[in-house]
Chains A and B, each alone.
Chain A
Amino acid sequence: MTLEISNLVGGYSQVPVLKDVSFDVKDGELVGLIGLNGAGKSTTINHIIGLLTPFKGTIKINGTSLTDDVKKYKEQIAYIPEQPIVYKELTLKEHLEMTMLAYNLDQDAAWKRAHQLLKLFRLDNKLDWFPDNFSKGMRQKVMIVCAFLTDAKLFIIDEPFLGLDPLAVNDLLNLISERKKQGASILMSTHVLDTAQRYCDRFVLLHDGQVRTEGTIEELRQAFPNAGESLNDIYLTLAREGDAS
């Protein structure tokens, strides 16, 4: 059990955005976090990466919570933010160095992997450039390369597909499946539902700060027999129901 969230209540100020959220991500599993804008996806992610402190409830990664051991907890996470965030003052090469430094990676092995990743995302000739001047898609690739440089056990990926070219989307999905096979867990939030349906093992549907439902696509179909076949149909039905209630 890599990630285990139980009874999480949390948010930015005193007013909770998340009301009693519980779900888990098992080893070697890709879980899709689905929800409307403002449903609490990013808030959940910010809690997992330790940017926000839970009001109530616990978040554990392989049995360790942030309060138990900061270092051990964070070593296991790699994060790809929705808006690429780069250091203005560092070149691409230095961003990679920074990641190696922060995650204490073996330089030689990490650089070997870095060069493969850079080649894959066609960034290998831009090592001395400043990513701050890159396009959104290219900065997104920098984030991906940095994240997949690590040996993280849990990848938190926030809406990765926007701005990426189709080739890069495909490569990212391949990287994800490769890591899955090695036993890593991935939590990915996205609005691109048909891709999610094809690749995710399970889904957590957030609505209004609560887990509306969770399960595999089969389980969702059985739970909501009238909602339709595809994840898209089921999700739309649930979202409309949720708004009506």
Chain B
Amino acid sequence: MRQLFKQRLVIHLKEMMKYLRLVFNDYFVLALLFMIGGLGYYYSNVLKTLHTGLWWAPIVAIAILLVSVQLGRFATLVEDPDYVFLFPQEAAFFAYLKRAFHYSLGLAIAVQVLFWVLLMPFVQVTMQTTATDLYLLLATLIILKVTWLNTDFARKYRLNNRLLSNHFLFRFLIPVVSISLSIYLNYWLGLALAIVALGISYYSRRNWSRYPIDWKVMIDDENSRMHTVYQFFNLFTDVPMLQGSIRRRRYLDGILGRIKLIPKNTYLYLYAHGIIRDNEMSGLYFRLMVIGTVFLVFVKGEILPIFLSLLFVYLIGFQLIPFYFHFSDNVFVHVYPITDQYQMKSFQRVLLYMLSIVSLIFAIAVIAVNFSSLMTVVGVIVAEALEIWAFVYLYIPRRLARSERTR
């Protein structure tokens, strides 16, 4: 069983590495560096304006730490057929799950440390704390996370334990109370509460292997976890495991109806319908559009808003690239008597429309916030137009020619 987990983990990590390589590809790393730099600069500027005694600062800190504790689920790496093939091994499965637990714990602790490091300057500026306090806070966070994961572990068994299956208590209430105690009263007190919760969640763990495994819950949990992971990767690349659901979106039929039904529009017809109805695609587009707009609404300046809007248009355009191959698994596009010279043209046209809409919305946001600066108003329009042109007509053909070769 331990061996089995090792095997699964190797396969899983290989897969994750494959996707991570795709995520951190050529241009994205550059864009990311700029983004981190920009955000870091923004953060340090904000810190300069803060001082101790702000009433909202502890609340923000508690909220962020609470989010941090929720991150990282129990990765069991079980697969659908497991309940057929492994159920004779159920008793031994505890060893497998324990290995999985340790793996998940490692990841989750790393996340806690990261959040803690990011939040430290903020806490130091806005509250009166000593170094010991901050380390106590980190310990509390980690112990809360271990407890969180351990109840997620308990969930995989049919324990009939009302207390342990109370997710609201272990995942939300205890963390809120414990972190609030730490920040408002005393860091030792928060830690003490966390330790008590940990003790309760571990108390019966030795006996769990005698209970039946709830396979359905375990498999559903894992599938939903992997779905989240794939959804994340899907922000950057094409994930074949992700079968997007389809929405009818009848209200957009008017746009689709405008496509002339002539053979050279075959791909245009496909791409347009696909991009509008495939939730994975349109959801991604919509999410990034909203995030970008929100960002731009809060950013004032001359050059920075232009720069940010360009960055987001690029990111969105980049997300849409794999859609070019969306239909190539379908045998009919190979059977149809059409030559593929129109495929690129159609794809470029769809991209042009999609990016123009985003740019328009971004431009409106930028202009509404910075209407007093003529330079910004004109700059954002000109820069976006240039970017779209370069992206669709210069970058896309080359990029796709390269992808085509490596496919």
Contact = CB atoms under 8 A, between A and B. Distances in A.
A77 B337 CA distance: 8
A81 B331 contact: yes
Contact of B331 (A71, A85, A90): A85
A50 B334 contact: yes
B265 A71 contact: no
A97 B269 contact: yes
B277 A89 contact: yes
Contact of A90 (B265, B266, B273, B335): B273
Given A71-B337, A77-B335, A107-B261, A88 B246 contact: yes
Interface string B251-270: 00000000001110110011
Contacts of B274: 87, 89
Interface in B335-393: 335-339
A49 interface: yes
Contacts, number: 75
Contact of A51 (B243, B270, B331): B331
A49 B335 contact: yes
Interface in A108-155: 130, 132
A199 interface: no
Contacts of A236: none
B90 interface: no
A74 interface: yes
Nearest to B274: A89
Contacts of B276: 89
Nearest to A95: B332
Interface of B: 243-244, 246, 248, 261-263, 265-266, 269-270, 273-274, 276-278, 327, 330-332, 334-339
List the 5 shortest-distance A-B pairs measured between CB atoms, nearest first.
Answer: A102-B336, A75-B337, A74-B337, A89-B277, A104-B263
Interface of A: 49-51, 70-75, 77, 79, 81, 85, 87-91, 94, 97-98, 100-104, 107, 130, 132
29 contacts: A49-B334, A50-B334, A50-B335, A70-B339, A71-B338, A71-B339, A72-B337, A74-B335, A74-B336, A74-B338, A75-B337, A81-B331, A85-B330, A87-B273, A88-B243, A88-B246, A88-B278, A89-B246, A89-B276, A89-B278, A97-B261, A97-B269, A101-B266, A101-B269, A102-B263, A103-B337, A104-B263, A130-B246, A132-B246
Given A75-B337, A87-B273, 8 more contacts: A51-B334, A77-B337, A79-B331, A101-B262, A102-B266, A102-B332, A103-B336, A132-B246
